[in-house]
Structure 1
Amino acid sequence: MLSVYVDLALGLTVSFLLLSLLVSGLNEAVVRLLSIRSKFLWAYLRDTMDGSDAQGRSWLPANPGEVFAALPFTRDPRPQHSDQPSPAQPGELPEREDKAEDAMVKLLYQRVQEIDHPKSGRTSIANIPPGRFAVALMELAASEPDGVEGFLGKLRSMGSPLYGHLKGVWETAQRDLDRFRQGVETWFDGEMQRLSMLYKRYVKWVVAVLGLLVTLVFTMDGLEYAKTLLRDNALRASVTAVAGAGPGAYEELKARCGGDDPVRCVTETLSQPALVTMVDHALVSVSFPAEGDPVVRWNGGAWWDRITTPSHWPGFLLTYVALLFGAPFWWDVLRRVTGLRSRR
């Protein structure tokens, strides 16, 4: 009896794991296609180093919907790509109140453009190591006649939000250059961790939408799938009983198959696992006949009937909630159920 529940747990875990991997793959494809990570980083850098745009709007939206709507399509904060190495001398900051809209971002990109490769004419840099960022700022400070003090003065005259952060680091370092560099590196590392947490919080909304789409496209009814697994286990138990029992067990198996030939019934059931049966209800399904090429079938009518049937909605909800846990969770559950050990 215990093996029946173990099989049920394995079947549900594997199905939720595969669907979660599909959701993760779709999310990664969207992120890479739209360069979300790179745009997210440079939007933060523009807000931190140069401030808001000419219209007074923040580059990094506070609304998750705007991050994946306005940021990828209407406002690209990334600098133009350059295939040249970093210049020997960094450019100069604007004088007094003559503030260029993206002066600091351009200067920073000049110091890190050697690790870049083009993507649609824009930079593809999605991660700047804290050490490299600190060195870039030290190079910019070294280009000023008064060193860090002059650099901070230029930032203040430009109205750069970076002035307040660096001023605090400079005072904490007691005007020691080496300690200032380490302080900038520590500060930027903390900012990148905070930015990563913010990014993950935004991505959860995308995963939630993709999970809903996958559930509805495949019409994966978790409750119905569990019932199918139990029914297949019961059929296998009947087949095993026939092998060690008399004609009475054979008649019982024949009755279970609806009076048809048990051999054909058992063959069709065991050759088509429960997961494949559930995928057959998707909007588009693929079948592999015994002979010939695979057949792609449009299930628009049957799919709509399942979507509009209220009895399936609890199972859809179960599947959707399961997908929100993510593939790492279901992989860990699978390891625990099967006894697999992770190799680090």
Structure 2
Amino acid sequence: MISVYVDLAIGLVLAFLLLSLLVSGINEAFVRLLGIRSKFLWAYLRDTLDGGSSEGTSWIPSKIADIFARLPFSRKDPRPVHSPDPSPAVVAPVPVDPADPDAGATTAAGQGAPQVDMTERLYRRLQEIDHPKGARTTISDIPPERFSGAVMELVSAEDGGVDGLLAKLEAIGSPLAGHLKGVWESAQRDLGAFRQGVESWFDGEMRRLSGLYRRYVKWVLFALGATLTLLLGMDALEYGKTLLRDNAYRAAVAAIAGGGQEALAGLRETCAPGAGSSAGAATGAPAPVDPYACVTESFSSPALVKIFDHSIVSVTLPPDGGDPSFNWNGAVWWDRLTTPGHWPGYALTSIALLFGAPFWWDVLRRLTGLRNRA
């Protein structure tokens, strides 16, 4: 009896794993196609280095709907323009109008700030790690040590060193000035400690940004998982019953093969004339059924293969190894979708897919005793 429940658990976990992989694959395809990770990173950098967009608003909006409406499809791409050339050998100092001695005071109110694209200047120090895949940069991850190195290159271009860079960042109204000033004071004005502090600060910011990205992506994965569940008609509760029936049928066939005639009644019911016979369904009359063919067909169509039988478009693989055939199941699928009895199973499947493929792979590995190779 224990083995029956183990088989049920493995079957459900394997189904959730396959569906989770499909959801992750679809999500990853859209993310790579639209460059969402890269846009998310550079939207954060523009907020941190330049203080948001020209309208004074953040590049990363607070609402989830705005996140995935503006970042993938907005005409204002936060990423710098891709450059195939290496970084300039000479780092130019941050330009500030010397005729305005109170530039820092005017920018404190958000007015009169010189227009300096600090995000573009940072990209010029990082463009060696870029890949030419379009008009915009595809950098979606900046190592903290590389960022701190870029900041030190900007420091080396200023006459006053770190103090000179901080003064100019304050003059142009860059939010980065406050972050670097705190790191500079904490390092007690030591350049080596300052670089390590910048590296640690940026590493923490990237972890925070990654957590924020994952939190937003969970909603997208839930939407994809729910949509896929409905399109496939994947009722987890019904699928569990199918697994149990499949296990019971195979146990009955094994019992008959071993001489147990008491299980013959269940087999006769499953392979009764007209039960699942396409010929009988077409003519309206029961067709003779070869029991050996029935058993062979049942064994070759386990519950896992039937997981996509209720989708809006089903795929049939012929037994002779020919080309697969696609069948439109719109009417049957809609009738199944609007049946309230299937809704709890749909909800259970959608929630299960939220855990992701790594979670279900780990559960499957524990159930089957598989171990990762060292």
Assess same fold via TM > 0.5.
yes
2:154 aligns to what?
140
1:51 aligns to what?
51
1:116 aligns with 2:130: yes
2:286 aligns to what?
none
SS of residue matched to 1:195? helix
1:30 aligns with 2:13: no
> Percent identity at matched positions?
62
Measured after TM superposition, the shift of residue 245 of structure 1 is 2.4
Measured after TM superposition, the shift of residue 343 of structure 1 is 2.4
In the alignment, the residues of structure 1 paired with residue 294 and residue 339 of structure 2 have an alpha-carbon distance, to the nearest angstrom, of 28
1:275 aligns to what?
304
Measured after TM superposition, the shift of residue 15 of structure 1 is 0.5
**Equivalent of residue 311 in structure 1, options 337, 341, 349:** 341
Does the 8 A contact of 1:85 with 1:113 survive in 2?
yes
Question: C-alpha offsets along residues 169-203 of structure 1, whole Å, 9 cap, x if unaligned?
Answer: 11111111111111111111111111111111111
Quickly say closer, same or farther: Cα 1:100–1:118, change in 2 above 3 A: farther
Measured after TM superposition, the shift of residue 48 of structure 1 is 0.5
Quickly say closer, same or farther: Cα 1:320–1:180, change in 2 above 3 A: same
> 90-99 vs 203-212, which deviates more?
90-99
Does the 8 A contact of 1:93 with 1:103 survive in 2?
no
1:293 aligns to what?
323
SS of residue matched to 1:73? coil
Measured after TM superposition, the shift of residue 56 of structure 1 is 1.1
> 7-16 vs 272-281, which deviates more?
272-281
In the alignment, the residues of structure 2 paired with residue 102 and residue 210 of structure 1 have an alpha-carbon distance, to the nearest angstrom, of 40
1:39 aligns to what?
39
Alignment of 1:1-344 (within 5 A): 1-74=1-74, 75-96=76-97, 97=103, 99=113, 101=115, 103-245=117-259, 249-258=263-272, 260-291=289-320, 292-344=322-374
Measured after TM superposition, the shift of residue 42 of structure 1 is 0.6
SS of residue matched to 2:348? helix
Question: C-alpha offsets along residues 83-136 of structure 1, whole Å, 9 cap, x if unaligned?
Answer: 111111123323144745452111111111111112320001111111111111
Does the 8 A contact of 2:81 with 2:135 survive in 1?
yes
Measured after TM superposition, the shift of residue 261 of structure 1 is 4.2
In the alignment, the residues of structure 2 paired with residue 340 and residue 216 of structure 1 have an alpha-carbon distance, to the nearest angstrom, of 32
Does the 8 A contact of 1:219 with 1:316 survive in 2?
yes
SS of residue matched to 2:315? strand
Measured after TM superposition, the shift of residue 256 of structure 1 is 4.1
TM-score of the pair, normalised by structure 1: 0.95
Does the 8 A contact of 1:54 with 1:101 survive in 2?
no
Does the 8 A contact of 1:141 with 1:147 survive in 2?
yes
Measured after TM superposition, the shift of residue 255 of structure 1 is 3.4
Q: Which runs of 5+ in 2 are unaligned?
A: 98-102, 104-111, 274-288
Q: Which runs of 5+ in 1 are unaligned?
A: none
Does the 8 A contact of 1:282 with 1:299 survive in 2?
yes
TM-score of the pair, normalised by structure 2: 0.88
Question: C-alpha offsets along residues 288-320 of structure 1, whole Å, 9 cap, x if unaligned?
Answer: 112332111111111111111111111111111
In the alignment, the residues of structure 2 paired with residue 179 and residue 59 of structure 1 have an alpha-carbon distance, to the nearest angstrom, of 31
Does the 8 A contact of 2:53 with 2:59 survive in 1?
yes
Quickly say closer, same or farther: Cα 1:35–1:249, change in 2 above 3 A: closer
In the alignment, the residues of structure 2 paired with residue 244 and residue 114 of structure 1 have an alpha-carbon distance, to the nearest angstrom, of 70
> 5-14 vs 267-276, which deviates more?
267-276
Which structure: greater helix fraction?
1
In the alignment, the residues of structure 2 paired with residue 242 and residue 72 of structure 1 have an alpha-carbon distance, to the nearest angstrom, of 60
In the alignment, the residues of structure 2 paired with residue 159 and residue 246 of structure 1 have an alpha-carbon distance, to the nearest angstrom, of 85
